């Protein structure tokens, strides 16, 4: 036994030596990790953020979708139909319109996801067993958001009527449903996912690349020591900021052209609205992202931290903006967060203009929201940008 151990002493020595060197590196890494507070915070914050977003905010079966009703007659049966839609939890009847043009506008602006139309004589034809038509127009620009509600529509309507069609009217109790539910999928009738995803990608790609690129461009100056030189020369903060981000507006422009060409020729995404309106939206959105990147660069102390901040912003942007998952499916708090993100509003502009042929009036709120975001972020950047090395 002794002999056995003795023979292995050099081996054990080599092992403990190696172990002590591993420990040395391990301890050094631990210390450095603790010193880099930002990285440490990110390592803890990102999993928490992902858990909250994926666990609570994302819902692939969106309910309570805003719905406009256009009812041309009021009878007990119509009323119980509407009640059934409401109690199904899929449809929230938030508007009642008298004018079909008004309903169409609500749908185009994205204020409602559905318009339910019940024509004059609906009840009479129902009683006569003529299977009247009930029209549901759905905003299918985001197919995932509306598909479940649409799929349940016929069942909800007919089950409600089965309840009412009793007694004298029992013989009418349906074999096939007493009402023919007609679904009009608007804007993307074939529910082609690319129609929704590709315009959205325009926003996602611009957010990711531009925020990161500006955040890094500025921290690079600090990291390489050229910031001190820049500060010693007569350049004002806004001059540096504008000069720094202007080249990237060009970069964003090139990206936009590439994505729009791909959308048209590779994915056959329709373009129904005005190009100028989309481009105006793109420019505003570019500026918002560049201003945000610049703000990150005034917070981050290294290029690494700038990357982390970008990722930290990118995650909710992609998950809560309605890009990946239906915006209307998210709980209220997540929608509030979503409203604060420029990507959410840009998606409304780009999908509205490309798929729905929206005009300026339809998307002006989105424009306003991005403009406010830009101003707020710009002010933060200006106050944080230091004229001195303090």
* Calpha distance 196→323 (Å, rounded): 8
Pick 100 or 243: Cβ nearer other proteins: 243
In DSSP terms, 168 is beta-bridged to none
Tokens 């803890």 -> residue: 44
* Calpha distance 366→372 (Å, rounded): 10
Q: Minimal distance in Å, beta carbon 252 to other proteins?
A: 22
What's the per-residue H, E or C state across 255-291? Answer: HHHHHHHHHHHCCCCCCCCCHHHHHHHHHHHHHHHHH
* Calpha distance 287→279 (Å, rounded): 12
* Calpha distance 309→297 (Å, rounded): 9
Pick 120 or 230: Cβ nearer other proteins: 230
Q: Minimal distance in Å, beta carbon 221 to other proteins?
A: 9
Pick 50 or 229: Cβ nearer other proteins: 229
For 300, the 3-state DSSP assignment is coil
Measured CA to CA in angstroms, residue 170 lies from 173, 174, 231 at distances of: 5, 9, 86
User: By the 8 A CB rule, do 38 and 44 touch?
Assistant: no
Q: Minimal distance in Å, beta carbon 250 to other proteins?
A: 19
Pick 50 or 226: Cβ nearer other proteins: 226
Q: Minimal distance in Å, beta carbon 222 to other proteins?
A: 11
Pick 127 or 231: Cβ nearer other proteins: 231
Q: Minimal distance in Å, beta carbon 228 to other proteins?
A: 5
Q: Minimal distance in Å, beta carbon 233 to other proteins?
A: 5
The β-bridge relationship of strands 114-118 and 133-139 is antiparallel
For 374, the 3-state DSSP assignment is helix
Pick 180 or 221: Cβ nearer other proteins: 221
Pick 83 or 229: Cβ nearer other proteins: 229
Six token digits for residue 320: 């809560």
Q: Minimal distance in Å, beta carbon 377 to other proteins?
A: 25
Q: Minimal distance in Å, beta carbon 324 to other proteins?
A: 37
Q: Max alpha carbon distance in the chain (Å)?
A: 105
Pick 175 or 389: Cβ nearer other proteins: 389
* Calpha distance 210→289 (Å, rounded): 6
Strands (E), the chain: 65-71, 91-96, 114-118, 133-139, 180-186
Tokens 């999993």 -> residue: 47
Pick 61 or 228: Cβ nearer other proteins: 228
Residues that bind other proteins (CB under 8 A): 224-229, 231-236, 387-390
Secondary element (H or E) of residue 121: none
Task: Report the candidate in 87, 99, 229 with the shortest Cα–Cα distance to residue 163.
Answer: 87
* Calpha distance 340→374 (Å, rounded): 11
Q: Minimal distance in Å, beta carbon 386 to other proteins?
A: 10
């Amino acid at each position: 036994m002794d002999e056995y151990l003795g023979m292995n002493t050099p081996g054990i020595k080599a092992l403990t030596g190696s172990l002590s060197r591993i420990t040395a590196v391990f301890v050094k890494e631990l210390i450095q990790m603790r010193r880099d507070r930002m990285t440490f915070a990110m390592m803890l914050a990102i999993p928490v953020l992902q858990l909250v977003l994926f666990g609570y905010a994302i819902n692939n079966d969106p309910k309570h979708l805003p719905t406009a009703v256009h009812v041309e007659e009021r009878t007990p049966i119509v009323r119980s139909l509407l009640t059934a839609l409401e109690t199904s939890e899929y449809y929230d009847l938030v508007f009642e319109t008298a004018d079909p043009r008004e309903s169409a506008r609500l749908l185009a602006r994205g204020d409602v996801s559905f318009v339910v139309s019940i024509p004059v004589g609906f009840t009479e034809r129902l009683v006569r067993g003529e299977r009247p038509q009930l029209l549901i127009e759905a905003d299918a620009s985001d197919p995932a958001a509306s598909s479940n509600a649409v799929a349940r529509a016929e069942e909800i309507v007919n089950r409600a009527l089965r309840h009412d069609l009793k007694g004298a009217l029992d013989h009418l109790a349906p074999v096939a449903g007493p009402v023919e539910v007609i679904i009009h999928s608007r804007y993307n009738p074939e529910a082609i996912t690319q129609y929704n995803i590709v315009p959205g990608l325009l926003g996602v790609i611009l957010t990711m690349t531009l925020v990161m690129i500006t955040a890094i461009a500025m921290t690079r100056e600090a990291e390489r020591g050229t910031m001190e030189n820049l500060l010693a020369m007569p350049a004002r903060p806004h001059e540096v900021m504008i000069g720094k981000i202007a080249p990237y507006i060009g970069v964003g422009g090139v990206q936009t052209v590439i994505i729009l060409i791909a959308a048209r020729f590779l994915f056959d995404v329709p373009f129904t609205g005005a190009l100028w309106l989309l481009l105006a939206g793109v420019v505003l959105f570019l500026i918002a992202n560049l201003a945000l990147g610049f703000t990150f660069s005034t917070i981050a102390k290294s290029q690494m931290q700038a990357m982390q901040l970008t990722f930290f912003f990118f995650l909710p942007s992609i998950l809560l903006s309605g890009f990946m998952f239906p915006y209307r499916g998210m709980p209220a708090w997540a929608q509030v967060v979503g409203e604060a993100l420029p990507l959410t509003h840009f998606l409304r502009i780009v999908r509205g203009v490309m798929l729905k042929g929206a005009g300026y009036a339809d998307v002006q709120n989105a424009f306003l929201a991005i403009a406010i975001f830009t101003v707020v972020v710009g002010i933060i950047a200006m106050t944080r940008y230091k004229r001195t090395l303090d």
